[in-house]
Chains A and B, each alone.
Chain A
């Protein structure tokens, strides 16, 4: 099917097949195209056709990534709602073993992180790397297989967790067979990204490419070595927990962090049609992020039964994260300077830019909670969940939504049906997601104040007031608001988004050409 589309596109635009099959040498291609077409063909026409062909080559796998990713997003919001409700109504549906909090929560995080986020991320990364290297994907079938392997792994992971398997390692609870399946899937996908990079047809790699290469190289290294060490007895005892904390740093900072930043660096300048403010800053940000990102995770184990220097190194690395945070934030803000009004029109820009603000928040939370004085209140509380959700829901998902709003019309050949749907999706995601993050953090602080007090705080009358069983109750109100406002509105927004995406897959939308904006320029002001 894809090949026929190739030929159709190529013939209808009157260009020779030389463009369709990009060769290793970049220079001859435009020339031969020029000689083959007698009428005036400008460089711009060739680039447009090329871009359309590259998009077409990525169409199948990228749409598979998005569709399955959105399926897992819906699964995860339902599970997340149930898990959150169980924190303030513990008896809620507790008769079935698969509905207990201890199974619903890991199933939720697995579906969210490995289902939605990773699949959407791989879809966006595949499309981006094709666009940035200007090379068409020659065997999209391999990527499709990769996507299905990954999906099978996630499905097996979620189902085994619900039916009662747990590796005992947070954010990595799946059975090792599921991990192996996901790893094979990733190799089929990731190898393509690196091959495309090898045959790139542009001279200087754009900063997004560096981030994507980092993500595609580092993720299999972290994932593979953590999975191998978990399923063998090479390491036992607390080393398993150390490896898991290390892996979490790679997962959140280097996998989601790098793909999200790569997308932000592509879409913000693209939409406002302006170069990135500073390439030097971008480079400093990149190298500091890549080197520090893998070193910050041991703050999760502070005070635990691990060598103290691990935690000290992580605290130092977390504080140094200020460097990438400041450079990235400055770069995004200065690039956007004077163009913030474009957010009134472009859904992509609004999602991606708000996502970068969440990035600054999420990474700053990393710095903040590394400080001993803050950690003494927030350790062992849902504050850590707030940090993860800021990274995964606030930053990464927002950027991915923006990217999907940009990419999908270019793959299916029609524009998004309704600007109202996009508006609702944005409101639900930003405010619902923000509520979820804020209340995880807030309940963490509330809990921290009481958790940190010994039980012996007494009222003048002589009765103990801070017994342990008061502690989670202090956060009960937070959890109720998180469920009924946060997860509810966030979930509704995702269902609207899923329906909207389904319309796109069925090619129900506005005619191609004019992008669906929040308001047409001139209309809003």
Chain B
């Protein structure tokens, strides 16, 4: 009987230690983080708030659901690490490391754990790049049209790309006069245009930006330098 109570106590103790140290302690620390608010002297409203609450009632932006549903996060991470951990910033994926405050308004941050594709934490920042700046294959700019092209046929942007195509995010429509500017392919009388899901996804991807200045995470690479 004594043995039995030792067993139960020990097992519960192991759970309490594990839960306390790994869940409750960090939760008390970063569970209630607030946005960083900057006030300028003599002003009635803050001059700057970061991060900004963007998502709908479900806690996910429309495109974020498309991103999660199709498992983009199994290959693309959304976290930039400190230079001592890896070459994230040298590769052009961000100008500073991402910290807990960057994610406070996301109900489930899609941090990801495998980088079969590049990191996307700053995809919409304008300084994001994924190739060496001397590379002649480098596309100049990531915009919605580039994303549609990539989703429809990743190899058309990068011949070596390992990303699967997503033809089901596109639909065939009659051209009817002028082809749509978003059409990824025009075949005779038909054009292939992105669906609402693909448009939301592009909007979401272009909204990804965690390069805003934060006190706890100083900018390592100045945005201007990164641009060239």
Taking Cβ atoms with an 8 Å cutoff, the residues of A that contact B are: 86-87, 90-91, 94-97, 100-103, 105-106, 164-170, 204-205, 210, 213-214, 217-218, 221-222, 225, 229-230, 233, 235-243, 245-246, 249-250, 287, 290-291, 293-295, 297-298, 300-307, 310, 313, 376, 379-382, 384-385, 447, 451-456, 458, 462-464, 467-473, 476
Contact = CB atoms under 8 A, between A and B. Distances in A.
B140 interface: no
A379 B85 contact: yes
Given A168-B73, A298-B22, A305-B102, A240 B108 contact: yes
B71 A106 contact: yes
Contacts of A454: 87, 90-91
Contact of B10 (A205, A235, A290, A382): A290
A455 B14 contact: no
A87 B162 contact: yes
21 contacts: A90-B162, A90-B164, A97-B70, A100-B168, A103-B71, A164-B70, A166-B71, A213-B11, A218-B14, A221-B15, A236-B107, A237-B109, A242-B26, A249-B18, A290-B10, A305-B99, A306-B100, A455-B87, A467-B131, A470-B160, A476-B162
A380 B113 contact: yes
Interface in B49-95: 59, 68-75, 77, 79, 81-82, 85-87, 90-92
Nearest to B13: A291
Q: What 5 pairs across the A-B complex have the smallest Cβ distances?
A: A102-B71, A294-B18, A454-B90, A303-B85, A464-B132
Interface string B169-188: 00000000000000000000
A203 to B, nearest CB: 9
A218 B105 CA distance: 31
A164 B26 contact: no
A214 B11 CA distance: 6
Contacts of A236: 59, 104-107
Contact of A464 (B110, B131, B167): B131
A404 to B, nearest CB: 27
A213 B7 contact: yes
B12 interface: yes
A238 B11 contact: no
Given A100-B71, A310-B22, A381-B115, A237 B30 contact: yes
B36 interface: no
Contact of A291 (B7, B14, B29, B69): B14
Nearest to B22: A246
Interface in B19-34: 19, 21-23, 26-27, 29-31, 33
Given A164-B69, A381-B114, A225 B132 contact: no
A-side interface mostly: helix
B41 interface: no
Contacts of B158: 469
B208 interface: no
Given A239-B26, A305-B103, 12 more contacts: A100-B166, A102-B73, A105-B74, A205-B4, A229-B23, A241-B111, A290-B10, A293-B14, A381-B114, A384-B113, A454-B87, A455-B132
Interface of B: 3-4, 7-8, 10-15, 17-19, 21-23, 26-27, 29-31, 33, 59, 68-75, 77, 79, 81-82, 85-87, 90-92, 97-100, 102-111, 113-118, 130-132, 134-135, 137, 154, 158, 160-168
A421 to B, nearest CB: 35
A384 B100 contact: no
Contacts of A305: 79, 97-100, 102-103, 109, 111
Contact of A467 (B82, B135, B154): B135
Contacts of A218: 11, 14-15
A96 to B, nearest CB: 7
A310 B24 CA distance: 11
A313 B23 CA distance: 13
A243 B19 CA distance: 9
B160 A469 contact: yes
Contacts of A385: 114
A302 B74 contact: no
A380 B161 contact: no
A246 B18 contact: yes
A266 B218 CA distance: 56
B7 A205 contact: yes
B114 A382 contact: yes
A21 B101 CA distance: 61
Given A90-B162, A454-B87, A102 B70 contact: yes
Contacts of A476: 162
Given A237-B100, A467-B135, A473-B160, A169 B108 contact: yes
A293 B14 CA distance: 9
A230 B116 CA distance: 26
Contacts of B72: 102
Nearest to B169: A97
Which of B69, B82, B158 has the most C-beta atoms of chain A within 10 angstroms of its own C-beta? Answer: B69
Contacts of B71: 100-103, 105-106, 166
B164 A86 contact: yes
B172 to A, nearest CB: 13
